[in-house]
A and B are shown apart, each in its own frame.
Chain A
Amino acid sequence: MTFRNRSRAAVSLVALAASAALLAGCSGGSPAPAEGENQTVTWWTWNAFNPDKTIADFVAANPNITIDYKLYSYNDYVTAIRTGLTSNDGPDVFQVQPGELVTNFGPLAVPLDDFLAENGGDRINPEGLSQLQLDGTQVALPSYMSAAGLIYYNASILDELGVSVPTDFDEWETACATIEAAGYDCLAHGAKDAWVNTDVYLALINSIAPGEVYDAIEGKADWTDPAFVQAMQSWSDLFTSGIIPAGATAAAEYPDAFGAFLEKKAAFIALGTWNTPGTMTSVGIAVSQETVTATIDSTYLSAPFPAPVAGDDPTGLFGGPDNGWAVSAKSDAQDAALTFLDFLSLGGGQEIQAAGGNIPAVSDVSVATDDVVDPRQVADIERQQTDLGKLIGARQIPYGDLATALGEALSAVAAGTLSPADAMAQVQAVSASLSR
């Protein structure tokens, strides 16, 4: 073999490695479709309500647009969306929720202020819009409205035992004693999940000192103030007084706690209006049925979360847009994506939410009550829609580190490893260190 051949051969090794980069360069990205042709809108979500009907209705009205629907678990979603929003193969329409997702992914979304002005955005619940803004820019539109501050209860169990719906902790403890004696758990709770613990904490503090928590979130009040410590003490009491059964710290809200509630193993669950479809409408219950093995045959109703102090008013509802839809600035089908967004938040999508029992984001569509399984649920759902018009504040804490700190404090107090006062001191330390 000559020297020339030899070095060419060695060079070929290098070429093989380098071909990686070359091939990659060739295969990256796909050409954007030309105007007027059929377009595909890629739709990413971790939680879409009735996606099949949504897509079918939309495509029927817009036959030149195809929806490529992708459902993730929430954890996978936040992982994938990060690169998805900077790549050409990512989503055109993606899901956010108020708080950190809006803060961090909002800059990668198409601003929607002009779009709203041209398409009757004033029909949308103002609270639904404000929580999806970033520095005054509208980055997403709400899918539907939801709020926490409620307990859902199994009316079949309560009727069977002659227990009335508790309005404060004293009544609740008494009720729980009867319920547990009959072999049911009282309040099903997935204390593994910080979000549901935070919901309950907000329900407690919003009864003890209505609205003050929103000052603390903004740094204008101290988390170590007596009301906040008292609310944390009440949180601890839920676990020690037998309202929440042992083992709850190990459970997730979905599917563990919710499953136990659906299967008539527990009498109460602390959830919000987003559970109305899955517990009160026959279509929604059919969906819930797929998640549990026992047949769902109870009647479920909702009530305000009981006041920790007897004589206090229970919490008002707190919430806003349950989640929202944004259009990726990288989208190569922005017009089609905006058409779909219009459908989701202002058009037929809202009818689908309303028909299913979710509270629509637009004020001129009323939630349907004709699919309820028990006539008592009609008034219940109508009350939810009315109360959603007078929210006390938001569910999410927009500062990630503060939200994490509160979540960890609640988790530690629930596990009994931290005293309420110490826990609030930790939260305050993080709150004081934030640059808001």
Chain B
Amino acid sequence: MSIPGRPRRRVALSSYLYLVPALILVVGVVHVGIVANITYSTLDWNGISPNGKPVGGDNYLKLLNDPTFWVSLRNTLVFAAATIALQMVFGFALAVLVRTRAVLRGLLRTLAFVPVVLAPAVVATSFRFLLTPDGSINGLLSAVTGQTIEQPWLADPSTALLMIVLINVWQYTGYSFLIYDAAMGQIDTSVIEATRIDGASTGQLLRLVVAPLLSGSHLVLIVLGVISALKTFDLVYLTTAGGPGTTTQVLTGYIYKQVIDQFHAGYGAALSVALVAIALVFSVLQVRLSSREAK
């Protein structure tokens, strides 16, 4: 991490003081929390009584054999892959569209980002009601198709996870759009002109010139997408709470359910340790990526 041309200086002790505020908070909450999780994860404990019963590695054995853990992990990964792919495609498309001469493109640029600033709790609660069998979305579909549609989108095991993905895509495509918009703005227009003169179609131009030039943005969106997928909680908790059955359960939701609803704080801590381990991998990725971008 030492950069050529910047020799390490002999520095006063006071240099360390600038690090202290951040370290107090991060170490005090995050690091102490992770260590505490590891301790709790060796207990059979309801999280309320003063002490739990030591059970060694039993919680981790249980975790390996717990189908719901694996379903939650799978759902988290499916959610991550689907939201990232869709948000990148739609975000890219929007960034192209605002560069055409289409009418209302300015409005599109403004509106695309509005859902991003809304609280996930508000978005999730709203969609939970809009997607009920007699909700507004079925109402709209019925009006458009002329048939009575009463599909319970969020309660049907075959559509529930898809709906959660789509709600997330609706809310956060604006963010992908923004990243691509900023990056496209930096592309040298002479490259585009040259390709045009060579007779390339718009499709070829996008696929062969623009998309490769944005590889940095793709990577950023993938890593940020995985991180935000790992953190997703409000959206699932307030729409399906992981149901029907466990078809939409994600890791954060399963931890919450074990700790709060089922009084298994020890097991919840073991699940948390697993989640922290996964998150750590992506922390490293983002730091690497971001530091490289900055150079």
Contact = CB atoms under 8 A, between A and B. Distances in A.
Interface of A: 6-7, 10-11, 13-14, 16-18, 20, 75, 78-79, 82, 85, 100, 103-105, 107-108, 192, 247, 249-251, 256, 400-401, 404, 408, 411-412, 415, 417
Contacts of A404: 262
B52 interface: no
Interface string B137-163: 000000000000010101111000000
B245 A411 contact: yes
Given A17-B21, A415-B157, A401 B245 contact: no
B48 A415 contact: no
A108 B18 CA distance: 44
A14 B245 contact: no
A6 B48 contact: no
B133 A247 contact: yes
Nearest to B13: A7
18 contacts: A10-B17, A14-B21, A14-B24, A17-B21, A17-B25, A75-B241, A82-B47, A100-B262, A104-B46, A249-B155, A249-B156, A250-B152, A250-B155, A250-B244, A256-B132, A400-B262, A400-B263, A412-B245
B14 interface: yes
Contacts of B49: 107
A401 B21 contact: no
Nearest to A16: B21
B198 interface: no
Nearest to A403: B262
B30 interface: no
B152 A6 contact: no
B17 A192 contact: no
B267 to A, nearest CB: 10
Contacts of A78: 260-261
Contact of B48 (A75, A108, A192): A108
Contact of A104 (B133, B241, B243, B263): B263
Nearest to A249: B244
Interface string B33-54: 0000000000000111100000
Contact of A411 (B46, B156, B244, B262): B244
Interface of A is mostly: helix
B59 to A, nearest CB: 14
Contacts of B25: 17, 20
Nearest to B152: A250
Contacts of B20: 13-14, 17
A247 B158 CA distance: 12
Nearest to B153: A250
Interface string B231-247: 00000000001011110
B155 A192 contact: yes
Interface of B: 14, 17-18, 20-21, 24-25, 46-49, 132-133, 150, 152, 154-157, 241, 243-246, 260-263
Contact of A14 (B17, B47, B150, B244): B17
Contacts of B155: 192, 249-251
Interface of B is mostly: loop
A107 B46 CA distance: 12
A177 B206 CA distance: 60
Contacts of B156: 249-250
A161 to B, nearest CB: 24
A281 to B, nearest CB: 28
Nearest to A407: B245
Contact of A251 (B17, B47, B152, B241): B152
Given A14-B21, A17-B21, 20 more contacts: A6-B14, A7-B14, A10-B14, A10-B17, A11-B17, A13-B17, A13-B18, A13-B21, A14-B20, A16-B21, A75-B241, A78-B261, A100-B263, A192-B243, A247-B150, A247-B152, A251-B133, A400-B262, A401-B262, A404-B262
Contacts of B245: 408, 411-412, 415, 417
Nearest to B25: A17
Contacts of A14: 17, 20-21, 24
Contacts of A192: 155, 243-244
Interface centre among B48, B49, B154, B260 (most CB of A within 10 A): B48
Contacts of B152: 247, 250-251
A204 B161 CA distance: 33
A391 to B, nearest CB: 27
Contacts of B157: 249, 415, 417
- List 3 A-B pairs, minimum CB-CB distance, nearest first: A250-B155, A250-B152, A17-B21
Nearest to B262: A400
A400 to B, nearest CB: 6
A213 B262 CA distance: 22
A256 B135 CA distance: 12
Given A105-B48, A192-B155, A411-B245, A82 B260 contact: yes
A78 B260 CA distance: 7
A110 B144 CA distance: 60
Nearest to B16: A10
Contacts of A100: 262-263
Contacts of B17: 7, 10-11, 13-14
B67 to A, nearest CB: 10
A192 B242 CA distance: 11
A11 B14 CA distance: 8
A415 B260 contact: no
Contacts of A400: 262-263
A18 B263 contact: no
Contacts of A11: 17
Contacts of B133: 247, 250-251
A412 B245 CA distance: 7
A10 B243 contact: no
A102 B48 CA distance: 12
B136 to A, nearest CB: 15
A417 B157 CA distance: 11
Nearest to B50: A107
A193 to B, nearest CB: 10
B212 to A, nearest CB: 45
Contacts of A7: 14, 17
A105 B260 CA distance: 12
A415 B152 CA distance: 14
A241 B142 CA distance: 29
A251 B151 CA distance: 11
Nearest to A418: B245
Contacts of A251: 133, 152, 155
